[in-house]
Amino acid sequence: MQQQPTHPHLRRFIALLRRQSNSLSNLKQIHAHSIRLSIPTSDSRLAKHLLFTLLSLPNPPIRYAHSLFSQLPHPDSFTWNTIIRAHSDSPSDPSPALRFHARMRRSSARADTHTYPFVLKACARLRALRHGEAVHAASLRDGLANTLFASNALIHFYASAGLVDAARRVFDAMRVRDLVTWNSVVNGLVNNGRHREAVDLFGGSRFDVGPDGFTMVGLLCACAELGALSTGRAVHALLVESGMLEANTHVGNALVDLYAKCGAIGDMRSVFLEMGCCRLRSVVSWNSLIVGLAGNGYAREALEWYGRMEAEDGLGPNGVTFVGVLYACSHCGLVDEGFRQFERMRREFSIEPAMEHYGCMVDLLGRAGRVEEAREFIDGMPVEPNEVIWRTLLGACAMHKNVGVAEVAWVRLARIDPGHDGDFVLLSNLYAWAGRWANVEALREEMLGRGIDKWPGRAQVHEATRKC
């Protein structure tokens, strides 16, 4: 390909693009001035810099960039990569990245170490498994699959697609790893439920580089899901030693959540208080504390902390906060307070109740024995109640021996989520308590007819009663 003659003002315009690339209006002025001085837009040296600066803006003008790109007779690899990267990062639709990559492969430009990471990122965001596998094959043919950037992108792609074994194979084959590698594999394992594997990988002390906050958050999430308190405490010790806990809110939140899920309430309180001293607490921190206290039987304390939230850190509650508050009210039997907070959520904070909030309210009424009111509450919901709502009501009916409302819940459950063995057991036990043995037998026959088995250990009340 014949090299274009260098325009006498080309270097000056490239320097201008580098210095004044902070706004679209500046870039358009530079572009217009270059045209007036007869530097053609098709000049690849000007175009590559203009495209790069345009597409590096916070809200890149994609149509403008496409117009510039279309005027280039032979874009080089850098220019192709620039347009592919812009689309792979697009918040709305990354699919054009795949189309531009296909056009690149048909052109004279060759893929380089940056091309495949951008394309694989788009594949991961689109969940385009087959396309991503084809890109992997192409990277192998080009001899670029084993480069650090491409391997990291492959780990992220396969983990995002749920193919964790494929991600591990790429990881295990890598000779050189960086922090991105470790974060991709650890968080990929955690996000796909492979918590034990993530913890074991960390415990093997095979890190080539020091872990950062993203690594630690992933490990703490894995420990929380496993209930691995001792390993979580070891991670906590590393955080204290590295000073990371004093500077990273996400790490602190993950630690509060770990101790909450493991029932280590004293440790949870301590971490939360230390975060307050460092001014690191966020709404997520407060939510983890409130939900953790409520879920571990410290409901009144959860409500006390909720009352201190705005005063101490100037933070208003969000939807998750109110889930914890309503849950705490249900465990304390504070029905009136629960309704007050439910209304406060809507009126004061303009938070529209989600299904979780409605479920908490049904649980609140049900635990208090106000089963009829719980049914009326469900009937008045502005959204269609799901199976969790009806199952909560059925459980309350079983607790407070209300056969009539239980049958209403049963009918709804049979319509939207049939075949759940626990529903059969709860209603069967209620019928047995009421001495309605014909109904017990009918439920038993229906279970046998559907091939539904009761789990061992579920209540056998009606059997014992019949033998008496």
**pLDDT for res 293:** 96
Tokens of 321: 């906060």
pLDDT band with cut points at 50, 70 and 90 for residue 36: confident
Cα(140)–Cα(143) distance, integer angstroms: 5
Token pair 């390993």: residue: 231
Residue pair 192/218 in contact (Cβ under 8 Å)? The answer is: no
How would you label 333-357 residue by residue, b for 16+ Cβ within 10 Å and e otherwise? ebbebbbebbeebeeeeebebeeeb
**Is residue 262 over pLDDT 60?**
yes
CA distances from 246 to 165, 273, 284 (A): 35, 12, 17
Q: pTM of the entire structure?
A: 0.81
Tokens of 256: 């509060």
DSSP state of 186: H
**pLDDT for res 389:** 97
**pLDDT for res 17:** 74
pLDDT digits (tens, 9 = 90+) for 134-146: 999 999 999 999 9
Q: Which of 2-11, 19-28, 400-409 has the lowest mean pLDDT?
A: 2-11
249-261 and 283-295 helices, crossing angle to 10°: 10
**Is residue 11 over pLDDT 60?**
yes
**pLDDT for res 455:** 45
Query: Could you tell me which residue, 465 or 229, shows the higher pLDDT?
Result: 229
Token pair 């459980």: residue: 395
pLDDT band with cut points at 50, 70 and 90 for residue 296: very high
Cα(11)–Cα(126) distance, integer angstroms: 39
Q: How many residues are there in the chain?
A: 468
Sign of CA dihedral 376, 382, 386, 392: negative
The helix or strand, by DSSP H or E, that contains position 410, with its residue range, turns out to be helix 403-416
**pLDDT for res 26:** 83
Query: What DSSP letter does each residue of 342-355 carry, written as one string?
Result: HHHHHHTT-----H
DSSP state of 383: S
Query: Could you tell me which residue, 392 or 40, shows the higher pLDDT?
Result: 392
Q: Which residues contact 395 (CB under 8 A, 6 or more apart)?
A: 366, 426
DSSP state of 136: H
Per the prediction, the chain carries an average pLDDT of 90
pLDDT digits (tens, 9 = 90+) for 305-336: 999 999 999 999 999 999 999 999 999 999 99
The alpha-carbon radius of gyration of the chain (Å, integer) is: 30
**Is residue 29 over pLDDT 90?**
no
Cα(211)–Cα(223) distance, integer angstroms: 16
Percent residues over pLDDT 90 in the chain: 75
3-state SS of 280-299 is CCCHHHHHHHHHHHHHCCCH
Terminal CA-to-CA distance of the chain, rounded, Å? Answer: 97
Report, as an integer, the average pLDDT of 73-100: 94
Report, as an integer, the average pLDDT of 171-186: 93
Q: Which residues contact 233 (CB under 8 A, 6 or more apart)?
A: 267
Burial of 57 per CB tally in 10 Å (0-12, 13-18, 19+): middle
Tokens of 304: 């006390």
Q: Which of 59-73, 109-123, 362-376, 383-397 has the lowest mean pLDDT?
A: 59-73
Cα 340–chain centre separation: 31
pLDDT digits (tens, 9 = 90+) for 46-71: 888 889 988 988 889 999 999 999 99
pLDDT digits (tens, 9 = 90+) for 424-441: 999 999 999 999 999 999
Q: Is 421 helix (H, G, I), strand (E, B) or coil?
A: helix
pLDDT band with cut points at 50, 70 and 90 for residue 208: low
Report, as an integer, the average pLDDT of 3-26: 70
**Is residue 404 over pLDDT 50?**
yes
